Chain A
Amino acid sequence: MIRFTNRRRGFMAALAAVVLTCHGWAQEGTIEIIDKVAGLIPISISGYTGEVDQTLKFDLEVAGFSLVSDDKARFTLAGKNGTQVEGTLQDSSRRSILARAYPGGTPRLQAHTLADDVVQAVTGRPGIARTKLAFKHETGQRNRNNEMISEIFVADYDGANAFQLTQDGTIARSPAWQPGHRTLFYTSFRPGRPCIYSHDLASGARSPISNFNGMNDGAAISPDGTKVAMVLSKGGSPDIWVGNVDGSGLRQLTSTREAESSPCWSPDGRTLCFSSSEGGGTRLQLVDVNGGAMRPLSIGGLRGATEPDWSPDGKWIAFTRMGGAKNFELYRVAAKGGVAERIGDGEDPSWAPNSRTLAVIRRQGNVRKLSLLDAFTRGTKDVATISGSCGQPSWAK
């Protein structure tokens, strides 16, 4: 079961308590921008306790920092938590880069916000500590049809504040965010067969957008939020189809004897990447959203590529390679093709908005764990707050 770390939160109550003045310690250009660093960034963290301490450390480790003692640190983060979180970030020459207080929200949110500021200050890129994940979750229970019950959950990126979105008591799977909206698309067997729903998180209303005979799965929403790519078998084979997000205006993009699966969008919304078993084995293929023949994405001769996901910056396609029956390897390849680079073990990668971190699934015996993988440093951290088996993470963008 999921342990709910949720607590009711108020909206930024303490804005008035802000303490102010700013100190002219930093001049433009003196902040060290570390971009695409291959190694871990050593940082020391001191002064924090409990949940704030744990949250900060988790956030910064996921972001590619290693926690070290003061004398080995390239950056030091010192501060305290109580009614508000405070933090001062200094580089190795004791020059202050950041000094802020975070009132309002919850201690966890204060810590996430500080972590994001540290990441922004050190790497020059926005952090991901206040993002959301959707995923499939199984408790191991079965329903009267002997199906493993799976439900769709939404949680903070670190697994906190998880809430169960579906209560269908059957198979729910393949969650996908609609970019720019509070809406999730997913497949549920609620009607007795697979149906793709569009589910508005704010109102709780959902509507079926695809429930043809056969397969209705793998919904992926275009970056502009207007189109949906899906795998439908109504034509007699699992093919890629594209329509409007309400399910209207369907067009068939692939027509093969074999199965296509796991479509994803290029950030410009013009191209889809997916896996196809046409021609034997499974390969990554590309197709123009407006039609045309599918064309293979070169990944340097690797076999068994499935589950592609296109990074939001457009540069990378991450995918799972089935190296053996139960041996799943994660790779990324330049979106234009080339030699794929192994970045870790696991399956079903989903890029974070930073185009650097991936949510992945790692199998450990009978349990499937939700983990976060940093593609730069290859570091992996399990999302420990969630027990049970997770699958098919989708990172909100």
Chain B
Amino acid sequence: MWPRFRGVAASPVGPNDSPPAMQHTMKRLLHVGFLGLLAALALASSGCKSRPKNITAIPGSEGRGGTSTDLTQGNPLPPTVGGGNTGGSSTVLPPPQGTRYNPNQGGTGIDLPPVTNPGPGPDAVGNTALPGGNIRDGMREDTEMFRGNTVYFDYDKSAVKKSEVAKLAAVAEYLKANPSSKLEVAGHCDERGTEGYNLALGERRALSIRESLLNMGVSSANVTTVSFGEARPVDPAQNDAAYAKNRRGEFILLTPIGSNPVQ
């Protein structure tokens, strides 16, 4: 015999489990042979009002879909929430006497000026905290200054290769000669490796460069890091030559707005 339909309204929102009305109805189907119109309507409507616990209700069928949700675009971001920033004081170092430096020349063997403010040192496991606050506040960004100093990495590695050290030394000398300048080191990966892993690897590369700079006498208060993972390839091709170009660390020089750097 062809069973007659017992109507249940489709739930318009997207709770993740069957709405209680459905499950309820199911049970009743098993137990009860006959149910009247009023009872069914009451069940269906009461089920739609109740919201299952711990279920994410999504606006989707109310007509929002397809239109973008308003963002707070263009508004300045509130200051960092959470506090907890530690990090070095920002005492300005005097520029070293008589040292003029071309950062793109590289080379080693130059006498380093004494470091009077190294910033906080490494912790128990050897990590040196990043500076607190927003290192970009009041600073002008310069992505060109150290373009020739881009550091390249081996596949799946974050250690700075010997062949790349001279590029770092040049950056370190500049920062020591211009102690009011700061630096953001950007770590990048090729597209091999999972996305989650590459984010971490990019950050490790940037931090590895930072540690090398600190070892060369740059203040830890003046260098921060950012990982782009695989999101900013130089060459999007899928071959070894492109991958080698994409595994890199780049430098963004931050100079106080209105200052004149020592060259």
Using a CB–CB distance below 8 Å, which chain A residues touch chain B?
4, 6, 8-12, 14-15, 17-28, 31, 84-86, 88, 96, 98-106, 109-110, 112-113, 116-117, 120-121, 126-128, 130-132, 145-148, 150, 154, 156, 161-168, 171, 173-174, 177-182, 190-195, 199, 201-202, 204-215, 217-218, 223, 231, 233-238, 243, 246-250, 255-262, 275, 277, 282, 306-307, 320, 322, 325-326, 328, 347-348, 353, 361, 366, 391-392, 396-397
Contacts and interface: CB of A to CB of B under 8 A. Distances in A.
7 contacts: A195-B77, A209-B81, A210-B81, A236-B122, A259-B201, A306-B197, A353-B17
Interface in B28-44: 28-37, 40-41, 44
A236 B7 contact: no
B124 interface: yes
Given A99-B5, A168-B71, A105 B56 contact: no
A18 B7 contact: yes
A96 B66 contact: no
Contact of B8 (A102, A199, A243): A102
B69 A233 contact: no
Interface stretch (B100-108, B167-175, B221-229): B221-229
B215 interface: no
Given A101-B7, A234-B85, A237-B207, 7 more contacts: A12-B10, A88-B3, A163-B66, A214-B207, A237-B204, A238-B204, A347-B194
B8 A21 contact: no
A83 to B, nearest CB: 12
B69 A182 contact: no
A12 B61 CA distance: 10
- Of A85, A109, A392, which is in contact with the most chain B CB atoms at under 10 Å from its CB? A109
Contacts of B192: 325-326
A182 B53 contact: no
B200 A231 contact: yes
A353 B10 contact: no
A115 B23 CA distance: 14
Nearest to A153: B68
Given A22-B29, A182-B57, A256-B125, A113 B10 contact: yes
Contacts of A154: 58, 60
Contact of A306 (B59, B136, B194): B194
B17 A163 contact: no
B225 A233 contact: yes
Given A204-B69, A247-B82, A306-B194, A130 B14 contact: yes
Contacts of A247: 81-82
B84 interface: yes
B4 interface: yes
Interface of B: 2-12, 14-18, 22-23, 25-26, 28-37, 40-41, 44-45, 48, 53-73, 77-78, 80-85, 87, 122-136, 155, 184, 191-197, 199-201, 203-204, 207, 224-229, 231-233, 236, 238
Given A105-B11, A213-B224, A257 B34 contact: no
Contacts of A164: 68
B225 A348 contact: no
B125 A21 contact: no
A20 B36 contact: yes
A290 B63 CA distance: 42
B23 A213 contact: no
B8 A100 contact: yes
Contacts of A109: 10-12, 61
Contacts of A231: 199-200
B130 A126 contact: no
Contacts of B28: 22
Q: Which 10 A-B pairs have the closest CB atoms?
A: A236-B127, A24-B33, A18-B7, A6-B66, A259-B200, A204-B70, A247-B82, A325-B192, A261-B200, A213-B224
